[in-house]
């Protein structure tokens, strides 16, 4: 069935002269849902091409299980491929039905995009007071304030010049504001992406906007790492803050269970530090982050502060070992 679908897709692409990126995981999910798979081509109104490319691809891929068609890697054609569970003799109504569904989703996205731009990111920050970060750990506004201080602390340790630090602190101030936009509430996968987009539209500097996006990287295994210094620092601060909060509340990963993604966040943070050879003390940053929690929220610690720091360092050490092992470094060298 998979070969049938891939052959169909290749034939369609050959006829229209476009390009397609086949998400193998998505394809396998679709294949298991259909008994008689066939690929057909659909289209949508060019007016929706005014939406950011990532909005279009998320709506098509994540929410409709369609395959977007590209003109090149940076530009979409107003076309999509959908896998149907039917004979190709009855495709016209199926195609029309899928086009209608996509039209409705894109119309929603267009509305959100237009409405969101009426309120600059800066004016959304205060709304974060109404969004819980984690139970007993305050709001996203509290987290934002901690990130501003922690970014300042880390940048001092790295001797970041004042001009760059100013952009960093602005990024930290705005980095969670897109979470209260209608677009991100409807399509959570766009967090950070829309933060960058709306920051630019709000008149923020491109360096500020880029760090807002990059602080979420890496988002999944194999994803790219941030390349700007401010994206790295903000990303480290954000991940440390989340890890500290969860360990404070005893929400640590157990076995295969990691509901808060702490292993992924820890691995991402370590990868950023190692790849860029950042000269920072994780222990100092952890202790600083812990002190910020004590100042911003009233929480009864499940365990002693020193024990929390020790547990986190041990947890991070294991992530470092795993990275080294994957890079082919021997156990005895790692342990030494």
- Entry field: residues in the chain: 336
Do 234 and 260 reside in the same domain of the chain?
yes
Let me know if residue 124 belongs to a domain: no
pTM listed for this prediction = 0.91
- pLDDT tens column, 203-236: 999 999 999 999 999 998 889 999 999 999 999 9
Candidates 115, 117, 138; CA nearest to 128 is 138
- pLDDT tens column, 277-300: 999 999 999 999 999 998 888 777
Helices (H), the chain: 2-16, 24-31, 53-57, 91-116, 121-124, 140-157, 162-174, 182-186, 193-201, 206-214, 229-248, 262-275, 282-296, 305-326, 331-335
| pLDDT score of 29 | 83
Do 187 and 320 reside in the same domain of the chain?
yes
> What is the phi/psi pair of residue 7, to 5°?
-65, -45
| pLDDT score of 70 | 95
Residues 40 and 97: their CA atoms lie apart, in Å, by 12
Out of 75, 90, 116, a domain closes at 116
Do 73 and 162 reside in the same domain of the chain?
no
Instruction: Please tell me the number of Cα atoms within 13 Å of 73 on its side-chain side.
Output: 0
Do 253 and 290 reside in the same domain of the chain?
yes
Instruction: For tokens 């950070």, name the residue.
Output: 192
| pLDDT score of 335 | 65
Out of 116, 147, 174, a domain closes at 116
Helix (H) or strand (E) holding 130: none
Do 248 and 102 reside in the same domain of the chain?
no
Let me know if residue 122 belongs to a domain: no
- pLDDT tens column, 44-86: 999 999 999 999 999 999 999 999 999 987 899 999 999 988 7
| pLDDT score of 153 | 98
| pLDDT score of 31 | 81
Do 110 and 197 reside in the same domain of the chain?
no
What number of other Cβ atoms are within 10 A of residue 50's Cβ?
11
Let me know if residue 157 belongs to a domain: yes
Do 99 and 198 reside in the same domain of the chain?
no
Let me know if residue 126 belongs to a domain: no
Question: Nearest 10 degrees: CA dihedral of 292, 296, 302, 305?
Answer: 20
Residues 263 and 84: their CA atoms lie apart, in Å, by 37
Q: Give whole-number Cα distances, 132 to 127, 144, 160, in Å.
A: 11, 12, 32
β-bridge partners, 67: 81
Do 189 and 268 reside in the same domain of the chain?
yes
- DSSP letters, 244-302, are HHHHHTT---BTTB-TT-HHHHHHHHHHHHHHTT----HHHHHHHHHHHHHHH-----S
pLDDT class for 336, splitting at 50, 70, 90? Answer: low
Do 296 and 150 reside in the same domain of the chain?
yes
Q: Give whole-number Cα distances, 137 to 105, 146, 181, 293, in Å.
A: 35, 12, 22, 8
Do 257 and 309 reside in the same domain of the chain?
yes
Domain that holds residue 16: 2-116
Residues 72 and 63: their CA atoms lie apart, in Å, by 22
Let me know if residue 121 belongs to a domain: no
- pLDDT tens column, 157-168: 999 999 999 999
Q: How much of the chain, in percent, has pLDDT values that exceed 90?
A: 69
pLDDT class for 332, splitting at 50, 70, 90? Answer: low
Domain count, the chain: 2
Let me know if residue 71 belongs to a domain: yes
Let me know if residue 35 belongs to a domain: yes
Do 151 and 36 reside in the same domain of the chain?
no
Do 106 and 137 reside in the same domain of the chain?
no
Let me know if residue 36 belongs to a domain: yes
């Amino acid at each position: 069935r998979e070969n049938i679908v891939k052959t169909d897709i290749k034939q369609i692409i050959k006829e229209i002269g476009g390009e397609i990126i086949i998400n193998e995981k998505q394809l396998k999910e679709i294949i298991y849902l259909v008994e008689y798979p066939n690929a057909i081509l659909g289209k949508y109104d060019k007016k929706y091409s005014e939406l950011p490319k990532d909005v279009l691809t998320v709506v098509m891929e994540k929410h409709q299980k369609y395959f977007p068609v590209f003109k090149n890697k940076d530009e979409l054609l107003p076309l999509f491929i959908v896998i149907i569970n039917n004979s190709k003799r009855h495709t016209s109504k199926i195609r029309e039905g899928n086009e209608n569904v996509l039209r409705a989703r894109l119309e929603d996205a267009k509305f959100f995009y237009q409405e969101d731009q009426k309120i600059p990111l800066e004016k959304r920050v205060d709304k974060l007071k109404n969004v819980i970060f984690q139970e007993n750990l305050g709001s996203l506004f509290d987290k934002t304030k901690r990130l501003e201080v922690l970014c300042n602390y880390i940048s001092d340790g790295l001797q970041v010049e004042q001009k760059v630090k100013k952009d960093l602190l602005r990024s930290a101030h705005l980095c969670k504001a897109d979470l209260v936009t209608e677009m991100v509430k409807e399509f959570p996968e766009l967090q950070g992406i829309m933060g960058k987009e709306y920051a630019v539209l709000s008149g923020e500097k491109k360096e500020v906007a880029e760090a807002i996006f990059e602080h979420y990287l890496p988002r999944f295994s194999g994803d790219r790492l941030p390349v700007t210094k401010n994206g790295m620092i903000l990303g480290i601060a954000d991940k440390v803050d989340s890890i500290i909060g969860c360990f404070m509340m005893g929400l640590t990963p157990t076995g295969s269970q990691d509901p808060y993604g702490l292993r992924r966040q820890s691995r991402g943070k370590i990868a950023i530090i190692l790849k860029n050879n950042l000269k920072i003390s994780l222990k100092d940053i952890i202790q600083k982050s812990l002190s910020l929690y004590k100042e911003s929220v009233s929480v009864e610690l499940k365990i002693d502060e020193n024990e929390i720091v020790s547990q986190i360092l041990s947890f991070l050490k294991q992530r470092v070992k795993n990275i080294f092992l994957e890079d082919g470094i021997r156990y005895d060298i790692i342990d030494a």
